[in-house]
Amino acid sequence: MTRSRSRRPQAAIIPAVLSALLGLLLIPGTSSAATNLVTNGTFETGSLAGWSCSAGTGAAVSGSARTGTYALQGTPTAGDNARCSQTVSVRPSSTYTLSAWVKGSNVYLGSDGGSSTWTTSSSWAQLTTTFTTGANASTATIYLHGWYGVPAYQADDVVLDGPGGTGPPPDTTAPTTPGGLTVGSPTSSSLRLNWSAATDASGIDHYEVVRGSEAAQNVGNVTSWTATGLAPSTSYSFKVRACDPSGNCSPYGAAASGTTSSGPTVPPSSLPKHILTGYWQNFNNGAAVQRISDVPAAYDLIAVAFADADPSRPGGITFNLDSAGLNGYTVAQFKADIAAKKAAGKKVILSVGGERGTISVGSATAATNFANTALSVLREYGFDGIDIDLENGVNAQYMGQALRSLHSQFGTGLIIAMAPQTIDMQSPAFEYFKLALAIKDILTVVNVQYYNSGAMNGCNGQVYSQGSVDFITAQACIMLQNGLRPDQVGLGLPASTRGAGSGYVSPTIVNNALDCLTKGTNCGSFKPSTTWPTLRGAMTWSTNWDASNGNQFSNQVGAHVHSLP
């Protein structure tokens, strides 16, 4: 079956496939809701009555409302997305429609435990989503928020349409503060945290842990948790707070610190010190059709895109060569070409996911299925490893479990690569980043897709637009400053303007970013305070689009990568 697949063709901060899975709608027109359960949904009180906004980031402002005089304005910061929420009474097992008119960059609308949607619009646009309450639900929390470090957003005419609730008044009382935090049991990459339980009349929903100045991480309803992916011989500070089912959170308790032990930091690898990675397309989408033997020698690591989901086993994968779409390329020729590349000192791995990938590893069973089926496919075709490119999201716990199982069965020579989107690596609290840190001891390289992302917050707290040296370097240093080794960090860019919806830069810009990070030269306005000479290299989507563009990426960036110190 011929598949037409590209790397997120629209410019967006979160995967388009995630939005599709959530069933989200962006609907123009005028709301005609029969009821409205939202208090002060028009903000015409001139206040935030009924609403709670994080850290004072929200306000009712006049002068630009969609209707009436006032609208909500949320102003995100580098560490806060300006979330404004309201808890309303609802009925159990009932369906509700939530809508709001918004404008600004990356504005989200949703309900806790339900669905969410988002848009970027310079004029008023209506967001609409639906959710169904649980069998015992009496309240629901709705919310709006922007994104970290982006400009202020506005919202107006918020409507929740559905049967009115008969439940108790919303809970607004926060839990007690957890105490007794201790940090111990150090290894070279982890520390164990323990604390005393908090109390709340409605129970504790989860605890949130903050490491240093990073974003809070939901660790579940536990009083013991292990921070992983840490650097050897390094001191870390932590603090903990408790949150109840209504979203009320206690103040953070007193911080506690611990220091990891010393230990090895670099796993064995047969790859060069600096590498060029290229994705090879197992489908024809208008780019040059290639065989593995056609991939230029400049590529040290070739990622075959993509594996398929095994419909008979949740989490399982298969691989099907698109012989028809690749002009009759046979499985025997494909395997022989992989063997020839390996004989020439190259590595060939199988990529899992892509824009339209449906593989999900969200349980222990799925993790076992993934590891077992992946091992079978890798051995059948002679692949050297696996690449995780799940643009519909990852579960750090179970994917980490799957990859460790695969590594133990395959052996220490297994290459494990990742290709998260820019947004996925903005914070160590995000699942992709958590996964990378959790398997840091067996992880080879993370090639972040620095395209199709719009403006993003950099490691220095400044917002940069994609398509510049500053954007690439300020994004890469987030990983470099938060636990990943330099040899595990690669820069992912499209090979041509047709290879992505947005974010293409010339090979010169890619090379300048490599120089800035490794040598401190050719930087833009942002120059990191240190350099990382062992940075792994660069990646592109794809070798096919590179061929369509005269192999400019492999010729120019490849040569530059291999010349790095």
Catalytic residues: 391
**Residues with Cβ < 8 Å from 550, sequence gap 6 or more?**
none
> Are residues 276 and 299 in contact, defined by beta-carbon separation less than 8 angstroms?
yes
Which parts of 355-402 are beta strand (E)?
A: 385-390
In this structure, the strands spanning 256-259 and 235-243 are antiparallel
**Separation in Å, CA 504 to CA 16, 104, 493:** 19, 24, 7
CA distance 209 to 448: 26
- Report residue 78 CA to chain centroid gap: 17
Residue 323 burial by Cβ neighbours in a 10 Å radius (0-12, 13-18, 19+): middle
Tokens of 449: 């897709």
Task: Report DSSP letters for 74-97, one per residue.
Answer: E--BTTB---EEEEEE--TT-EEE
d(CA 291, CA 298): 15
Q: Which residues make Cβ contacts (< 8 Å) with residue 32, sequence separation at least 6?
A: none
Residue 471's SS3 state is helix
Which of 63, 87, 60 lies closest to 74, judged by CA?
A: 60
Which phi and psi (to 5°) does residue 482 adopt? Answer: -130, 35
> Environment class of residue 285 by beta-carbon count within 10 Å: exposed (0-12), middle (13-18) or buried (19+)?
middle
Q: What is the residue whose two structure tokens read 């994609």? A: 466
Query: How many CB atoms within 10 Å of residue 44?
Result: 15
Phi, psi of 372 (to 5 degrees): -70, -45
Closest Cα partner for 277 from 445, 522, 459, 65?
445
Phi, psi (degrees; rounded to nearest 5) at 265: -115, -15
In Å, the largest CA–CA distance within the chain is: 72
- Pairing outcome for strands 275-281 and 301-305: parallel
Q: Is the dihedral of CA 283, 288, 293, 296 positive or negative?
A: negative
Closest to 35 (Cα-Cα) out of 163, 146, 193: 163
What is the rounded CA–CA span in Å between residue 206 and residue 448? 30
Tokens representing residue 201 in the block: 């009349």
What's the rounded Cα separation, in Å, for the pair 378 and 375?
A: 5
